[in-house]
Amino acid sequence: MTALQQRTGSVGTPVDRVDGVAKTTGTARFSAEHTYPGLTYAAVVHATISRGRITAIDTTRAADIAGVIKVITPENAPPLKPAPRVSMLNMSSIVSGTSVNYLQDNEVHWDGQPVAVVVAETSEAAKEAAALVDVTYRTTESSVDFVTARLQAQVQKGNPLLPAGAKKGDAAAALAGAAVSVDAEYTTPPYNHNALEPHSTTAAWDGDRLTVHDATQSIGWFRTHLALRFGIPEANVRVIAPYVGGGFGGKAFVWPGTVLAALAARATGRPVRLTLTREGVYRTVGGRTPSIQRVALGATQDGKLTALIHQSVARVGRTGGMPEQITTQSRHLYAAENILLEQRAVEQDVLPTTSMRAPGESIGTFALESAIDELADVLGIDPIDLRMHNEPDRDPVDGKPFAHRMLREAYAEGARRFGWSARSPQPRSMNDGRWLVGMGVASAFHPLMLFTSNVTVRLSADGTVLVRCGFQEMGMGGATVQGQIAADALGVPFDAVRVEYGDSALPSAPMAGGSMQTASVANSILEACAKIRASLESLAKRSGAVGQAPKAVLAKAGVPHVEAAVGSDTRLGKVTGQMRMMRQVMRDRRYLRAATGAHFCEVRVDQDTGELRVSRWTSVFDVGRVINPKTAGSQLRGGIIMGIGMALAEETLFDPRTGRIMNPSLAEYHLPVHADIPAIDVSWLGDPDPTMPLGLLGLGEVGITGVAAAVANAVHHATGRRVRDLPITLDKLVP
Partner 1 sequence: MVDVTIRVNGQARSLDIPPQVSLLDALRERFGLTGPKKGCDQGACGACTVLADGERINSCLALAVQYDGREITTIEGVDDPLQTAFVRNDGLQCGYCTPGQICSALGMLAEYKDGAPSAVTEPDADPGELTEEEIRERMSGNLCRCGAYNGIVKAIQETAALDTEEVSS
Q: Which residues bind partner 1 (CB under 8 A)?
A: 16-17, 19-30, 32-33, 35, 122-124, 193-198, 243-246, 248, 275, 277-278, 474-477, 630-631, 633-635, 637-642, 665-667, 671-675, 677, 679-680
Q: Phi-psi region for residue 256, left (φ > 0), alpha (ψ -120 to 50) or beta?
A: alpha
Buried b (16+ CB within 10 A) or exposed e, 319-352: bbbbbbbbbbbbbbbbbbbbbbbbbbbbbbbbbb
CB-nearer residue toward partner 1: 23 or 732: 23
To partner 1, the closest distance from the beta carbon of 613 in angstroms equals: 11
Nearest CA among 620, 594, 611, 603 for reference residue 708: 603
DSSP-assigned letter for residue 122: S
What are phi and psi for residue 542, nearest 5 degrees? Answer: -65, -35
The answer to whether the beta carbons of residues 527 and 450 sit under 8 Å apart is no
Across 396-450, the runs of DSSP E, i.e. the strands, are: 431-432, 435-447
Active-site entry in 342, 413, 650, 701:
701
d(CA 673, CA 666): 11
**In terms of C-beta density within 10 A (0-12 exposed, 13-18 middle, 19 or more buried), how is residue 273 classed?**
buried
Q: Is 701 one of the annotated active-site residues of the chain? A: yes
Rounded CA-CA distance 472/511 in Å is 7
- How many Å apart are CA 440 and CA 417, to the nearest integer? 14
Beta strands at 180-188 and 435-447: parallel, antiparallel or unpaired: unpaired
In terms of CB distance, is 194 or 518 closer to partner 1? 194
How large is the C-alpha radius of gyration of the chain? Answer: 27
| Distance, CA of 397 to CA of 391 (rounded, Å) | 13
> Residue 203: beta bridge partners?
212, 272
**Cα torsion 97, 98, 99, 100: sign:** negative
> Which amino acid would we find at residue 158?
G
**Minimal distance, residue 635 CB to partner 1, in Å:** 7
CA dist., res. 240 & res. 570, Å (int)? 20
* H-only helix segments in 558-706: 571-588, 629-648
- The nearer residue to partner 1, 30 or 684, going by C-beta atoms, is 30
Q: Which residues pair with 200 in a beta bridge?
A: 275
SS (HEC) of 150-208: HHHCEECCCCCCCCCEEEECCHHHHHHCCCEEEEEEEEECCECCCCCCCCEEEEEEECC
The smaller minimum CB distance to partner 1, of residues 641 and 692, is found at: 641
* Secondary structure tally for the chain: helices H, strands E: 18, 25
Active site amino acids:
701
